[in-house]
């Protein structure tokens, strides 16, 4: 997969790119590229935003600036699916992450300030994705969240091939939360480990985990759906 991220703060992704799962995905042939709107702005002195028509607080990212960034990155007609990060977009969940992971090439548009000129939403983006119904200062953290969930689903991103397959909300668990995990020590301050996990009986363990997963699904807060 190739993932292109358009942002005013490419340095914000330094830590993200150093993560093991991202490094693994890159080693397996994926690409992560960062584009700064300021590098291709047609305006003087690196200007990328302007005050809103009709007045009001804050600055708006200009449509000509975003258009120039996309044209520079994709000089031919062929463009990847362009995903604009927005608090009011389609809510990111595991199904949407699966859908996006199937794309060979994605472009993510990170907003700042008051967000994008509406014509970016209408004419330049294919999708709008939100990571939650709250407003963050910029699209960089949402882009990292989206990139993380997508890249860790790629083959080879995780050390253990099954780790992303049997995970909370995966098809393997029928969309339910994952079962609880325990590791050493077997007893800490009187807090023990369920006997079944120490039994060595794989079939019992499998059944216990399935029950736990279903019980957790029943307890999920319906308001979060």
Ligand X SMILES: C[S@@+](CC[C@H](N)C(=O)[O-])C[C@H]1O[C@@H](n2cnc3c(N)ncnc32)[C@H](O)[C@@H]1O
Residue 192 engages ligand X in binding (rule: CB under 6 A): no
Which two three-digit tokens encode residue 19?
A: 């993560």
Residue 157 engages ligand X in binding (rule: CB under 6 A): no
Residue 134 engages ligand X in binding (rule: CB under 6 A): yes
- The secondary structure element, H or E, covering residue 110 is none
Q: Which stretch binds ligand X (CB under 6 A): 13-21, 31-39, 130-138, 205-213?
A: 130-138
Of the chain, the end-to-end C-alpha distance in Å amounts to 29
From residue 85 to residue 104, the character string flagging contacts with ligand X as x (rule: CB under 6 A) and all else as - is xxxx----------------
Closest to ligand X by CB, 127 vs 178, is 127
Residue 156 engages ligand X in binding (rule: CB under 6 A): no
Residue 29 engages ligand X in binding (rule: CB under 6 A): no
CB atoms within 10 A of CB 151: 24
Residue 135 engages ligand X in binding (rule: CB under 6 A): yes
Residue 148 engages ligand X in binding (rule: CB under 6 A): no
């Amino acid at each position: 997969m190739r993932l292109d991220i358009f942002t005013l703060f490419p340095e914000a992704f330094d830590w993200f790119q150093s993560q093991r799962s991202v490094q693994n995905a890159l080693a397996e042939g994926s690409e992560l590229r960062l584009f700064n709107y300021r590098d291709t702005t047609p305006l003087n002195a690196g200007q990328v935003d302007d005050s809103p028509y009709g007045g009001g607080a804050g600055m708006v990212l200009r449509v000509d600036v975003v258009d120039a960034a996309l044209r520079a990155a994709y000089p031919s007609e062929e463009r990847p699916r362009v995903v604009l990060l927005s608090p009011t977009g389609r809510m990111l969940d595991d199904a949407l992450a699966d859908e996006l992971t199937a794309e060979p090439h994605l472009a993510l548009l990170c907003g700042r300030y008051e967000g994008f000129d509406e014509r970016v939403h209408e004419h330049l983006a294919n999708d709008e994705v939100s990571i939650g119904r709250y407003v963050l200062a910029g699209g960089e953290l949402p882009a990292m969240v989206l990139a993380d969930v997508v890249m860790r689903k790629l083959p080879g991103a995780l050390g253990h091939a099954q780790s992303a397959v049997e995970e909370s909300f995966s098809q393997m668990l029928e969309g339910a939360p994952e079962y609880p995990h325990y590791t050493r020590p077997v007893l800490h301050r009187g807090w023990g480990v369920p006997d079944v996990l120490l039994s060595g009986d794989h079939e019992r363990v499998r059944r216990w985990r399935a029950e736990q997963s279903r019980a957790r699904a029943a307890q999920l807060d319906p308001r979060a759906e």
